[in-house]
Structures are given as C-alpha cells and as structure tokens.
Amino acid sequence: MSDPGRPIAEEELHAYVDGQLDADRQPTVLRYLQDHPDVARQVAAWNAQRDALRAAFGPVAAEPIPPRLGLERLVQARLSRRLPWRAAAAVLLSFGLGGASGWFLHGGQEPTAALTLLAQQAVANHVVYTADLRRPTELGALQRDDLSRWVSNRLNHKVAPPDLSADGFNYIGGRLAATPDGPAGLFMYDGPQGVRLTVFVLPLRAAASLPIQHIDFAHVDGCAWIDKGVGYTVVAKLPPPELRRLAEIVRGQYGGAG
C-alpha cells in the first residue's frame, strides 16, 4: 500500500491534521515534524484552524431542529399537496360514478356507512394511483420497512404490506392516502399480465366488524371487510372468485379469520 520510507507529501500533512493518515505513515510524519519546526508550526496552525471552525459552527448542530425542517411534517406536506381525494373525486365523476349509487356490495349485509366510505376511498385511490405511470407509489419496494413504519405511525396501527408473491403479485411500493376519515395506507402490487392490485387499510375506530364483501365497481372489482376497527380492501381488475381468494390470503396475513 504505502512505503513508510518514502518522503512526506504535503497532502499527508493535511491527512495527519484530519486524522485520515495511514497508520503506517504516522511515525514518519511525526519524525518529520520534529525535525522541521517551521513545518510543525504550519501544521499546528492548520490544526488550530480546524478546531476554531468546529467550535464556530458546531453549536448549530446541537440546536433543536426548527419545526419547518421536521421530516415527518415535510413528508405530510408532500402528501397533502397531491390532494389525492380531490383528484379521485374528479376521476369518479368523470366515470359517472359519484355517490354510492355507482357501485354495489354483495355479501348479504346492508352496506354500512363505514363500509361505504371504505369502498369508495379504496376504489378512488386505486383508480388514481394505479393510473399514475410516473410515480404510482410514494416509497418503492426497497423502502418497504420505511413505509410500514410511517404508515403505522400515521394510522396509529401497526401495518405492513402483505406478501402476495406466492400468488404472482409482487409488491412494488405504497403510500399514505388521504380520506375524509383520516390517513390510510395503500400498498400496490404488480400481477400476471400487468394487473395492478392494491391493498387499502383504513382505521375505522367505531365500525363493527364485517366479513368480506364483494364490491362491483363497473370497471374494477374489490373485496372489503372490517376487522377490529380497521377496514381493509383488495381492489384489482380480476374475476371475483380470484379476488376473493386473494382477499382471504390478505385477511389471513392481517390476523383475521379465514
């Protein structure tokens, strides 16, 4: 690597000051400084300069971070700037699907207000974000843990993207979604023949649990259920039996009854 006997280069003197000198050159440099007091004075001055700069600016890093630089706040601001619900409303209206009359629930239960909200928001977010070719997700598959943590924090409910890889659906990322009822988590998957599937998780504190319901939304299908105060949906352009099977897998992974 380096030859301990070779003459001292000026950059080694700087590396000495910055603690970046190779250990095997240290004795040679020290000896050189002993033999050359003028150089030693110069190096001492650089050292003092380094210390003075650190003393001058170091305290800035010890200050509390101002609120406008808080990372969570910045992430939230980015998300709300996108106004996903307003965009979703526009999409739904353009499809003539505004209001609850555009879709139907099949499950033997009367659609409750909570389920109506859940289904509308899940489908709206599905439509808006799966159509976004440039950036369908806020955080990609590589940041799976980051996303889980942030969504869990925001939802005040621990949640991670379910694993559907055994069924040919690969997780590609997710985002925080906005609903009139607060934040929701949206996880997106790429399936066979380019089918995009989303899993939508929305806390609905006061809502009663409901078994899996089928949502028929004209151009997409979904499954929705509520379990222990949390609403879940799985939405994709897939035949209802296949969707139902996937919904049951998701439900199982989220600890619900099969």
Partner 1 sequence: MSGTLTRIEACIPALRRYAAALLRNREDADDLVHDCLERALAKLHTRRDDADVRAWLFAIMHNLFVSQLRRAKARPAGEPLNETHEAAMSMRPEQESGLQWRDLIRGLNALPVEQRTVILLVSVEDLSYAETANVLGIPVGTVMSRLARGRERLRQMTEEGDEARPALRRVK
Among 6, 31, 36, 78, contact with partner 1 (rule: CB under 8 A): 78
**Residue 1 binds partner 1, judged by CB under 8 A:** no
Q: Convert residues 79-118 into a mask of x (bound to partner 1 by CB under 8 A) and - (unbound).
A: ----------------------------------------
Q: Which is nearer to partner 1, 49 or 156 (CB)?
A: 49
Q: Which of residues 116-175 bind partner 1 (CB under 8 A)?
A: 135, 137-140, 142-143, 145-146, 149-150, 173
Nearest distance, CB of residue 138 and partner 1, angstroms: 7
Nearest distance, CB of residue 132 and partner 1, angstroms: 12
Q: Which of residues 14-73 bind partner 1 (CB under 8 A)?
A: 14-15, 18, 20, 42, 45-46, 49-50, 52-63, 65-66, 68-69, 71
Nearest in space to 250 (alpha carbons), one of 237, 236, 233:
233
Q: Residue 135 and residue 127: Cα distance in Å, rounded?
A: 13
Nearest distance, CB of residue 176 and partner 1, angstroms: 12
Nearest distance, CB of residue 134 and partner 1, angstroms: 10
H helix count then E strand count, the chain: 8, 8
Nearest distance, CB of residue 21 and partner 1, angstroms: 11
Report the interface residues with partner 1, using CB under 8 A.
10-11, 14-15, 18, 20, 42, 45-46, 49-50, 52-63, 65-66, 68-69, 71, 74-75, 78, 135, 137-140, 142-143, 145-146, 149-150, 173
